[in-house]
Amino acid sequence: MEASTNTQIGCGMRHREVHTVDWNTMEVVLLERKQFGAPLTAFQLNQEKLIRMLGNIQAMSALGWRLCKLHDTGKMTSGQASLGKAWITKQARETAALGKELLGGNGIVTDFHVGKAFCDVESVYSYEGSYDVDTLIAAREITGISSIRPSSRL
């Protein structure tokens, strides 16, 4: 369980770090770019997306910090690690998508790192059903019932 747990925490914290860099990029680019004579940050819809991004980054950081503390004391369960990785990955996916939207066409190129972050988080989210499997592991711990069963018909 130790290797799996460490990997799950590492994945979660990696997303937070990547999106903090993206946030800093977004802040600079959106202040510099102008539309209708005003910086892109002056528009309500852009501000709402920026706030959602920052909220996600802060929440990912708080959850990652808590999981690290539980891990350090030996109190973290595999269900908690799976729940943390699943939730952080989901929020990271949303954060990358918001950044991509804010940058428009530049959001899909790797020059601004947002496009790269989007591809990175998407691969972690969907790799071999990672998000789905993590939610099933967490649900098994919560309910005491495993819904992960091999197919009886191969």
Which amino acids are annotated catalytic? 128
Instruction: Give dist(CA 114, CA 120) in Å, integer.
Output: 10
35 bridge partner residues? 38
Q: In the chain, which ranges are continuous DSSP H helix?
A: 2-32, 44-72, 78-103, 114-126, 130-143
Quote the tokens at residue 110: 């790797």
Tokens linked to 29: 């680019």
